[in-house]
Structure 1
């Protein structure tokens, strides 16, 4: 018999720039916030899973929190790291190995674009030198191709970014907390067409943590549990147009985001129509547009109309990135997906304050996409 899994505590260290503060210290703040949210002490935690790009051994955080001897598993899957941490934590509880655990993410990235050394993941140096790796060039090429194929305008990208800046202004944990008008976004420097400067997120600093337990004991800690219905992680297949595509495919295939989303919905027993609040990877505004269709929330090409009609606004029928997403929060890679869960839990509890979706949604969805082509999808419900 397997156990149902509930989220009983969430915590965040704000995202942004924090001189003199290490990723580990930010991680401890997120953990303590999650513990306080659940009414637990560190010694109540039976195991932990943690992920980071910059910190080689996130497990070392136990030295700051307390040496209680718990098992700690380090995970990494680029921007999809938090999906792997969430899945590992939930599965250990679901399979009866532990009753209460915590997933942690933390990072402290240097200023600048995501220009990571490609040799770190087995790619040749020339791959990064000609702009094909984790750079603005790749994101721009992908967005340009998608907009061309589906007759979507550059202004739609500006609308996405403007929405996320507005939402970030309502989020005390966000990095960028100032609304930026659509025209200013369009008029900002073009980094890689069709993406301008203000259409990109920024690598930054922060941490987040989520505490889970067996659902049948969740009432001991909270009267508002949120249930982890499914987590699915998928890698790309041959022919997918993704970061490490080094040669022309014989036949094109879809993004791993499609497969991860489908698997998560199937495992959860819900459909995109049941979802009341959505968190999508928006490394750039084009990514949010693309992921709307890849996750199954609309047909390819319908995004232009839906976004223009305000469907993805907090007040719309399908609120997307209500906390500002990556565009407003930035992306400390290891923490990014747990920030998504933090927001979904607040929304499903009805405690998101000024950015609360009306009617308190009963189901939420989060999608992460990480290079070189790994996607993680999570479904949570009340």
Structure 2
């Protein structure tokens, strides 16, 4: 990838239950913060992409931001909505059709599990009538098989979630800011074996925005730019085991869309996973973080138990993962999660993460988001 895009601004709303605050208001709050961070005004933005799963159309935010005539495209790609919006904004700048681009994601979900409609996923109504649209069962089935294959204990799932709540307690924007012990997490109500209640993220509320620009524009700004070394976006290949597509097809192990997107990102950036100083990995539940550690190339399958036991993924470890608490502590406002990840890595690379700052001056960061039924977006960022 040519050095044609720079992140010049990031913004975040608070995450968690916010009575009386709409998803749109959270989006505007995040955009306003990103504009201020970049040192630009709304009329300076040439193109925008954004999305929400259930809080409205992103393009209509111009009624609050200003009627500048900007091309604003709606994006809806499940949990990868934010990453997909950023991919689109980056490509607009790379193509030369814009000098400054915006990606925004936001959502405001009600309490309880997500309630997707079968027809929207290309499935028959019978799929829903049989109860097969409840996503938690797929996460349970996938991690259960993975743990048997690779000798990972349920205790490790609890310790991953324990780290998330501990990191969330250090993050002023997080929803879950109370630490929780591994024992309490492991002993909580079982949702889908082996995943208990506190190993899952919750449908949440929040907004996040990222502003990208050409190098020429970035040089004129007085902010703290971060290089976008790579950005990739992939859909599933044949044989993958996914939410709403839960089967092992063909011969051998299922393919992984996360592995495909991550490998492409590292190739594009010209680095290896071992070069990364801080990472954000999709953690819809704690088993997802474990699997994505290996799928994104940071360790071998089955090594996660030792990594967690040694504290390798803690803020002071060799590869800090989800330093802001991830989805488990922040909740999952579907449209915002991928851009929240980018916000956190930018904050870490700038050295501005406060109590959760990774020591030693991290210089390379990685983000990974996964969405049903098999879509992934990854970035590599550097100072």
Which band: TM-score by shorter chain? over 0.9
CA contact (8 A) 1:158 1:182 kept: yes
Instruction: Report the equivalent of 1:323.
Output: 324
Deviation of the 1:83 alpha carbon:
1.3
| CA distance in 2: counterparts of 1:111 and 1:282, whole angstroms | 19
Deviation of the 1:39 alpha carbon:
1.5
1:311 pairs with 2:312: yes
Q: CA RMSD in A?
A: 1.4
TM value normalised by structure 2: 0.97
CA contact (8 A) 2:240 2:248 kept: no
CA contact (8 A) 1:49 1:73 kept: yes
SS at match of 2:335: helix
TM value normalised by structure 1: 0.97
Instruction: Report the equivalent of 1:182.
Output: 182
Q: 1:223 to 1:104 in 2, by over 3 A?
A: closer
Instruction: Report the equivalent of 1:163.
Output: 163
Cα deviations by residue, 1:11-67 (Å, 9 ceiling, x for unpaired): 011111111211111111001111111111111111111011014521000011110
Instruction: Report the equivalent of 1:253.
Output: 254
* Correspondence 1:59-208 to 2 at 5 A: 59-208=59-208
Q: Alignment length, in residue pairs?
A: 382
Cα deviations by residue, 1:62-84 (Å, 9 ceiling, x for unpaired): 01111011111111110011111
Flag as ranges the 4+ runs of structure 1 deviating above 6 A.
none
Q: 1:134 to 1:85 in 2, by over 3 A?
A: farther
Instruction: Report the equivalent of 2:210.
Output: 210
Q: 1:248 to 1:324 in 2, by over 3 A?
A: closer
Instruction: Report the equivalent of 2:291.
Output: 290
| CA distance in 1: counterparts of 2:113 and 2:44, whole angstroms | 39
CA contact (8 A) 2:138 2:246 kept: no
Instruction: Report the equivalent of 2:360.
Output: 359
1:23 pairs with 2:11: no
Deviation of the 1:225 alpha carbon:
1.1
* Correspondence 1:219-258 to 2 at 5 A: 219-245=219-245, 248-251=248-251, 252-258=253-259
CA contact (8 A) 1:11 1:31 kept: yes
| CA distance in 2: counterparts of 1:247 and 1:179, whole angstroms | 36
- Where structure 2 has 5 or more consecutive residues not aligned to the other structure, the ranges are none
| CA distance in 2: counterparts of 1:237 and 1:380, whole angstroms | 26
CA contact (8 A) 1:8 1:222 kept: no
